[in-house]
Chains A and B, each alone.
Chain A
């Protein structure tokens, strides 16, 4: 999608009437995310604890590699690491995923996609930053084209440091994520909703041409 695609355009209807199309208005939902009830609650209810348990034991990962760290995700599916036994699965669509692994450096082009994918995941959803690049930019800290701190743009639940971290470290990261979820701290989605304007401002600042709706449902 380019900027041209979201410009207003005119077309002629079947009756010969002129129709003006404003793609952002007409084709995208313009609602912004809202904070869930559970987020406001100090102490999670019993049922919410049960839900959190279920969520932590069934982590569906968006099978998406943004950078070189993606190479470390593959071994998790092999007999050696076999992440399945922890209830971890890979899904091909963000709609069915709960965990977004940002695997390494994130170029601006990829950031756009990552943001969209993240926003399309149903909440509660979690972000796992993999590798140093997501923490401070790593070896690309002064690149013209990569971001330095992922949590300026998306709420990160767990960072796994290293360049590159081994699969074991990644498994450890999952373990940590599970714990956080079970404790009710996996509230990235609500955080994102709460500080939506801040995140958006950051995103828009670094992505000079913002060619999508504010929130990609």
Chain B
């Protein structure tokens, strides 16, 4: 209890800090220097209609690379951290509902398709590699919800992930020699503004990112799936005999 009181007092103080922030924060009226530059030159320099994508993939490509790296890191860590043990017994899980099974069977292909669409069109419309990857991963979630014992080939996921990551970095380095610098998307010609094959490397990069993010998120999920408490564990929710 005393702990809660202290926490409460601390949060009051923190709220005070935030209040000070709010008091001093002045809502901007205009775009600032950087944003204005992007608004003005983003289209012509990068050739992407979606300015956010232009920024994400090109102007701040290094951030994106880092972000992909973080996902990769997390997946890698989980892969040796939550390593599946051989001695894990069979898991007994409650059967999924009819509704879920049917829905997933119908929806999952569409979800994957949507994901692919989102990252392929990332430079033109809202969305992008991350969003697409996340959508793909959500499809996997659905699959796993339907059949928690489904085996997902983590080997395949890892291969795709590594390959896309490697190519991504490779293209980035190519930018040093073929264009203005690391991760410069102008290795390929800009193309026609607003079309699918425009904005230089951007769509390709976004596809790679999408693949990578998708596989990484999926990888994460499968890792967690793999370490579920096996039968005979102390998880109270699982009752024996109710398995599929």
A and B touch in the complex (CB under 8 A): no
Interfacial residues, chain B to chain A (CB-CB below 8 A):
none
